[in-house]
Every structure is written in structure tokens, then in C-alpha cells.
Amino acid sequence: SEYNLPLINRNFPKGSAAGSCLHEILDILDLSNVQDSGLEINRRIKNNYPIVYKQLLEMCNDDLAEVSLKMVGWIGNITKAKIQQDFSLDTLKPKQYLSEMSFCMSMKDEYFDSAKINDLLKFHGINIPQLNRAEAVRYLVGSIDLVYQHAGKFYVADYKSNFLGFSYQDYSAVELDKC
């Protein structure tokens, strides 16, 4: 069919609340054991994202079990997707990753050379507006969606939930590079 993405992928609610909902689900789950998380997923959506919950129930004809089944299947597919040839998130044990790792980074050029960061990003083909030189001490505060260890190295993952289209081809590396 022209729509080769599953129903939940195509019709999951759009917008910032839906994106926050997906992030929260991925943050609280045991990535190696998603199949047993249906009740927790439904509880989080119902309690924390009532508009998203209502839209999901409508999509599934008010069948709570169907919402759970579809969400567990979708999140399971995300964690089983190959990130590297021999690696997917579902292979991680809880002590191998940290969800929502907070950070606070000094933004004074004495510590953070904005010109070097600009040059590095440009070298890797990442075009962003020029970073201004930081004259005063400022801080960048935030959280990293996922930090994990694999094969003796540490990696940073940034979850994205943007809707790009109805087919798997809309999410190819070529299409993602356009974002």
C-alpha cells in the first residue's frame, strides 16, 4: 500500500504535547523490556497527556487494550531498530544508559570557544547561524535524552518525533539529512 507505516505511526497526534509524551515514555521505560510496559505507557499518557490520550482512544475506537498494544508495538520497534549494524537500544541493560542526563555548560569563550564550535560544525556540514562570542559568563542548561555505552564507547542520542511522511522512505538517511 502507499502507506507502509503502521496506523499508530501515521496517526499519532502531532504537536509538542505528543512529542513530549513520546519522550517521556522513552525516558521511563526499561529499553530491554518494552513488551511488559503497556500499563505504564497507558498510565503515563492518560495522566500526563489527556489530549493525546483522548486522540489515541478515538483512533482505536475507545479500546484501551488496542491503544496499549499499538503503543507497545511502536515503542518496541523503535528500541529494536538497528542504530549500528550490531546494535539497537533494546540490547542495553539499565546500567548501560542514562535517560534525561542533566548538564550545565559554561558559555564564556574562555571555556567555550564559539569560533571553534562554528568551524567544527561547518566542517561537518552542519549549517547554523553564527554563534556570537560570549563576553560574560553564561550557562547552557538542559538535558540529554539518552547517554549510553556500547562496545566500550559512550554515545549521545537525541530523540526526534517530527512527522515527516506516511512511508518508511520519508525517514531515510537522505530525507533526515534534509531536516
Contacts of range 137-142, beta carbons closer than 8 Å, 24 or more positions apart: 137/106, 137/107, 137/108, 138/106, 138/107, 138/108, 139/104, 139/105, 139/106, 139/107, 140/103, 140/104, 140/105, 140/107, 141/102, 141/103, 141/104, 141/105, 142/102, 142/103
| The three grid cell numbers given for residue 44, joined into one nine-digit string | 503515563
Alpha carbon distance 94, 125 (integer Å): 34
Q: What is the pLDDT of residues 21-58, one digit of tens each?
A: 999 999 999 999 999 999 999 999 999 999 999 999 99
User: Burial of 45 by CB count in 10 Å (0-12 exposed, 13-18 middle, 19+ buried)?
Assistant: buried
Strand segments, DSSP code E, in 22-152 are 82-84, 87-88, 97-106, 139-150
Q: What is the pLDDT of residues 80-139, one digit of tens each?
A: 999 888 999 999 999 999 999 999 887 776 666 777 888 888 898 888 777 776 665 678
Which residue is listed with cell 479500546? Answer: 63
Model pTM score: 0.75
Those residues with Cβ within 8 angstroms of residue 62's Cβ, 6 or more apart along the chain or in another chain: none
